[in-house]
């Protein structure tokens, strides 16, 4: 999941409005540079992947720990399957 995949609600979109010489625009997805964006993103990752054993989440990093290659590969497969089902690219 990336910041750009996180849709903003209507109120947040209004708060992310900016002015340019070409007009007024609003972000529809979570932009980089917003001070709380990493925390929002980490929470979403925890919700999506936090229950998978041996997966540790640090902001946008999913760290897998295993005692051998087979265990690591099984954990990685679970993470990738979950990403396909819960975090589809929109």
* 2-53 pLDDT, tens digit each: 667 788 899 989 999 999 999 999 999 888 877 777 888 888 889 989 999 9
Residue 65, phi then psi, degrees to nearest 5:
-125, 135
Q: Which residue has the higher pLDDT, 64 or 60?
A: 64
Instruction: Provide the domain count of the chain.
Output: 1
Most confident of 33-37, 58-62, 68-72: 68-72
Q: Which of 19, 11, 12, 62 is nearest to 34 (CA)?
A: 12
Looking at residue 20, what is its pLDDT? 95
Q: Is the pTM of this model over 0.75?
A: no
Structural domain range at position 70: 3-86
């Amino acid at each position: 999941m990336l910041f750009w995949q996180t849709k903003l609600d209507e109120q947040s979109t209004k708060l992310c409005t900016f002015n340019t010489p070409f007009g007024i625009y609003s972000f529809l997805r979570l932009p980089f540079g917003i001070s709380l964006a990493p925390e929002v993103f980490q929470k979403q990752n925890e919700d999506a992947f936090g229950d998978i054993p041996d997966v540790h989440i640090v902001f946008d990093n999913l760290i897998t720990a295993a005692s051998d290659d087979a265990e690591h590969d099984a954990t990685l497969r679970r993470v990738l399957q979950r990403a396909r089902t819960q975090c589809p690219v929109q």
